[in-house]
Each structure stands twice: as structure tokens, then as C-alpha cells.
Chain A
Amino acid sequence: MSGPTTGRAAGPATDRGIISDADLRRPGVRRGLRGVHGLLLAGLVVLGLGPVLWLGKAAITPTQDTLRAPVEVFPNGTDWANLAEAWTRFDIDLHFFNTLWLALGSWAVQLLIAVTGGYVLSVLRPAYARVLGALVLSTLFVPAVVLLVPLYLTVLDVPVAHVSLINTFWAVWLPAGANAFNVLLVARFFDGLPREVFDAAKVDGAGPFRLGWSVVLPMSRPIVGVVSVFAFITAWKDFLWPLLVLRDPAVQPLSVRLPALQDYVELDVLLAALAISTVIPIAIFLVFQRLFLGGAGLSGAVKG
């Protein structure tokens, strides 16, 4: 998964970058490097952490203080009631759990499709796998914007079944599954597994279900982890699609509800609601830091 990082051998001899140990022995270089890194760290703290900390501070600060002295820390004490007010009076609890359900459902659907799809394309390889794989791959070339309107109309009146998914979570869950990147990522991971193991299992009489469940699935934990984390967090952050298909406020996730709230909620309560919406993604990031920073999930990083 972490490609280039693993490509580098672990030995200390190769563990070097641009600056060599010889360079480092020169005091000028050492001082310059320390200066650059100090500046970099300060910049990152201010720019990366600063706004997030400010949000945390503003969430428990009275509106007037935030408006009059936004960069002072608690000039007139804290106001913890903001959080409770947002949570209960403005239904942030409802939208929080809506978001959670949307993310969990999208995760489940994406994982099911990615694992079964990857398994068929990479391991089972029926005669039609080539065509199927090409069709899946081709959707990567179609920008999301093309799907916007026709997908909306499809969800409005699903072919064959002729039901409308509008204002149901299915409208978000099911389209989330059609994610070619996940399928191909899992397929590529399966490509890297030793085929002899599969062949041995087949010789022992394992059918496609047995092979998948008892042999391939236990070996695919790393990739399942990667797909899971990014599926969940992408769903949590999603805005445009839920905005289109979840018109009823009762089913809206935080991302759709927050912009509507800004018009009639006091600023401190709105900021408290923003802070609440950020807690889960940041918690996931802190727990799975290695996945995010190892380069595995660049899909989420680069907007596509």
C-alpha cells in the first residue's frame, strides 16, 4: 500500500535524504536547517492547527466576544451552553446521527462492491472479466460532473424497480457503491496475493464462495482497512450529492444542514455545531494517521 515508502530499504545506511551527514557536520548547514524547520513548524502550527483550535475556542465563546475580539482567548469567560444548545435545540443530534448512518451505510455498500468486484476481476476471472474490468475502469475517465443530473434523475425513478429514493438514505448509499477506484484498488491488492494458495484451495475443492470467504478475505485485511477508513470519511464530508437527494431536513446530514442553519442560528451556536461536525473526522484521522499520511488514501486528499 505505502508503495514508495516500502520501496526504501530499512537499513540506516540508505536512510538519507538531500542533506548528507557530512553536510550536517557543517555548523552553517545545521543552523540553517534548524531555522528552516523551526519556521516550518511554526507555520504549520499557525496555518494547520490554528483554524481548528480557533473553531474549538469559538465553539465555547459567547457570540459578542467572537464578533468583537475574535483572536482573544476567552476575554469574558467560556460559554459551554453553546454545545448543548446546538445539540438539542437545533437538532444537531439528529443530523449527527444522520451523518453517521449515511457514512456507515456508504461504507458497507462500498466495501461489499469493492471486495466482491475485486475478487471477481482479480481472482475468479471468468471469461467476461476483461470486459467487466474495462467497463469499470472506463468510469474513472468520466468526471463526476457528468453523472450529476442523470444520476439524480435515476435516483428519482430507479429503472426496473420504478421507486424514488429521494429523501431516503439509499439515495446516498447505493450510488456510493459504484466507485471504480475502490474496486480496482482491491483488485490490484488481490493481484499481489500468491496465486498458488488459491489454486491449492481450488484443488481441495473450494468453490468461489468458500475460496473467497475462507482464503481471500482473511488475507485482505490491510486493503479492507484502507477502503473502510476512506469510504467512511469521504461519506462524512460529502456535500453536493446529499444536498440534491436529501431535501427533507429530517434526513439531512450535518454537511447539508449547517449552511441552512447559518441563516437563523446565532454565531456561537453555529460555530459550536461546526465544531461538533469536525470531531469525528479528526478522531478518525488521529487514530488512523498512518493510513492517511502513508499515502494510501491520496484519493481522499486530491479532490477528483
Chain B
Amino acid sequence: MADVVVTSLERPVPPATSQAAPARAPRPGGLAAWARRGGPSTLLIALPMILCFGLFSWFPIARAVVMSVQYTNLVAAPEFVGLENFTYVLSDPLLPVAVRNTLYFAVLALLFGYPVPLLAAVAMSEVRRARGLFAALAYLPVVVPPVVAVLLWKTFYSGADTGVFNTIAGWVGAGPFPWLQDPDWAMPSLVLEATWAAAGGTVIIYLAALTGVPPELYDAAEVDGAGIWRKIWHVTLPQLRPVLFITLILQIIGTSQVFTEPYLFTGGGPANSTTTILLMIYNYAFGGRGDYGAATALSLLLAVVLAILSAIYFRTTKRWSTT
């Protein structure tokens, strides 16, 4: 999902499928001619991809749709139940809580993680020497495995007076804070770690986009008498508009599927204050209940919302990359 961006941004080459060679349709003369043109070898080369996608992508996707209207627990044979899974999930009292938490996570992640990388990238793009060092430092947290990052931050978030963050807060006379123990604190704490872990990637995207701003635009702005701030406001930011939009959508899509942080930090607690939609899906299916139908129904509902978002995103990037 995340992935389309880069290529469509970087290399505006039309996708392979849209420029398929015309005169390749199997001709009358049939199999023998097809074999002579190397048809069987081609099919053989395509086979790993067809098998792999067939078994582990296309089949499970189709199965998700089927399963969402079945009751499946792996013990008894699956049974058709119509929309029961959907009504069950939609009437689960935990769902509004999970939706609210997920939205809260997404909004906080935008507040924490959207402006800072942009400012950092704009400042970084003006570094003339050792820009690589700046970028590498910013990107380093992205390389740390997510599980390591969460467990490390769990130590930082220790509620004791002598926890890492509470010690630092103590230097300015604040705290100690109940980072993960208090329902009001838990979600912002999760988002803070998630932002730390992801911001470097966003910085790199912005940096790449900033080097793509045509220098002539700055020259022209200077001729018109623009100072530094007006150049940023009237040239840099408008030029970054497409990429800003892309990172916005991607961040929403990414944060609405957040799992590792709530699962490892708090397990959804305290008092369900960090139960997200994905955590609910996980618990339906793997949390002991084995209710696979409900889990798929909920994941399909989430997917529809996300698909609308990515469709908007895809249409928009397509327009931008062709202009």
C-alpha cells in the first residue's frame, strides 16, 4: 500500500500492463505456434509468481469475503450465516471504543508526526556539508526493529521516579508521570514512541521531494524580491503539496492498522484505553475465542474504509505523476 508512492513519484514510467505489446494474442495455428514462440517457457517463468500470489494472496482475499458470511471456528464445518458476523461485530460494545481509540491514535500521530518531519527536512535541505549525517541520524530509529523499540521505550516509560523519562522530567521539576499506567496518558505515550519510530522515513521522503524543487523557481522568486520565509511559503510548500498529501494518506492508512504498539505496550489497557481495531480483530481470531468469521468481517469493514482512502490517493498521485 505504502509502496506505490515512491515509484509513481520517482519514475513516471507507465506501468507495464498499460503498454503491453499488441500483436501477441495467441494466433490460430494454436498450440504448436505458441510453443515455438516460447510460450511454455514463459508460462514456466510466470509460474512461481502465479502460484505464490494465487495461494497466499488471491485465494485468501477471496476467502476473506466468503468467511465473513460464515461461522468458522475450525472445529465444526463452516456454516453460512449471512450478515450475522457483521451485525455481531457492529453491535459489539467494544467497537465504538476501538474506533475512537484508533482515530485518536491517528489524529495524535498526525499532530506529533506531521509538522516536525517537514520542518526538520526543510532545515536539513539547507545543510551544505554532511547532509548525509543529518539524514542518517534522523533515519536511525526507523532501522530499529519495532519490537525492540517498543520494549526499549517500555523501559523509558517506567512509572517509577527513577524511570528514564521521569528522571529527565525531574530535571525540570516535573513528574513523575504515569506514562503507560493511566488511561489518559497511555495513548499519547504509544503515539510518541510510534512517531519516534516512523518520523525518519517521512523526513527522507520530504528531503527527496525538496531536492526535486526546480531551482529556477527560487531564482525567479528572488528576482521578484522574495526573502527566505516568503520563498519557503510561496515556493517550497506549494511544491511539496503532492508529497504532503501522500504522506498524509499513508500515515492515516498506516496508523489505522496499528497493532504492535498497543499489543506490546499495554495489551489494550488500561481500561481499554488503547484497544485499537486491529487489536480487536486479533482478539476475535486469536485471543482464545477462535471467532474467525467476526474477525474477517471486521477486517473487511476496515478495509473498505481504507480502500476508499487509497483510491483517492491513487487517483491523485496518478494525476500528479503524469503532469
Contact = CB atoms under 8 A, between A and B. Distances in A.
A40 B120 contact: yes
A145 B61 CA distance: 10
A218 interface: no
Count class of interface residues, chain A:
35 or more
A116 B16 contact: no
Interface stretch (B91-99, B156-164, B175-183): B156-164
Nearest to A99: B145
A23 interface: yes
A304 B218 contact: no
Interface in B257-272: 257, 259-260, 264
A148 B281 contact: yes
A289 interface: yes
Contacts of A237: 145-147
Interface in A35-65: 36-37, 40-41, 44-45, 47-49, 51-52, 54-55, 58
B20 interface: yes
B189 interface: no
A248 interface: no
A186 to B, nearest CB: 10
Contacts of A20: 218-219, 222
Given A208-B42, A274-B152, A187 B16 contact: yes
Interface in B264-285: 264, 278, 281-282, 285
Interface string B155-173: 1101010111001100000
Contacts of B83: none
Interface string B292-307: 1001100110110011
Contacts of B26: 127
B92 to A, nearest CB: 16
Contacts of A127: 24-26
A175 B127 CA distance: 42
B134 A40 contact: yes
Contacts of B74: 153, 156
A274 B151 contact: yes
Interface in B1-30: 1-7, 9-11, 13-17, 19-21, 24-26
A54 B74 CA distance: 46
Contact of B147 (A54, A58, A147, A255): A255
Contacts of B136: 285, 289, 293
A196 B124 CA distance: 42
A21 B192 CA distance: 38
Contacts of A40: 120, 123-124, 134
Contacts of B209: 4
B257 A302 contact: no
Interface in A113-132: 113, 116-122, 124-127, 129-130, 132
Given A149-B64, A298-B2, A259 B132 contact: no
A295 interface: yes
Nearest to A293: B135
Given A14-B215, A152-B285, A304-B254, A175 B56 contact: yes
Count class of interface residues, chain B:
35 or more
A258 B148 contact: yes
Contact of A239 (B10, B124, B260, B281): B260
A176 B10 CA distance: 25
Given A209-B45, A258-B147, A298-B6, A18 B24 contact: no
Nearest to B236: A18
B299 A149 contact: yes
A208 B25 contact: no
A37 B125 contact: no
A279 to B, nearest CB: 10
Interface string B36-56: 001101110110111011011
B11 A3 contact: yes
Contact of A149 (B2, B13, B285): B285
Nearest to B27: A127
A303 B198 CA distance: 8
Given A129-B16, A145-B303, A277-B145, A285 B139 contact: yes
B126 A33 contact: yes
Interface string B199-225: 011101101111111010011001000
A133 B235 contact: no
Contacts of A188: 7, 11, 13, 15-16
B69 interface: no
B134 to A, nearest CB: 6
Contacts of A208: 38, 41-42, 45
22 contacts: A2-B208, A3-B208, A17-B213, A18-B126, A33-B126, A48-B138, A49-B137, A51-B153, A67-B160, A127-B26, A145-B257, A146-B299, A178-B52, A208-B42, A209-B41, A277-B147, A285-B139, A293-B132, A293-B139, A301-B204, A303-B2, A304-B253
Please name the 5 residue pairs, one residue from A and one from B, whose CB atoms are nearest each other, closest first: A3-B10, A301-B201, A304-B2, A4-B212, A133-B17
Given A70-B167, A299-B6, 6 more contacts: A3-B6, A16-B215, A16-B218, A142-B61, A143-B303, A145-B281
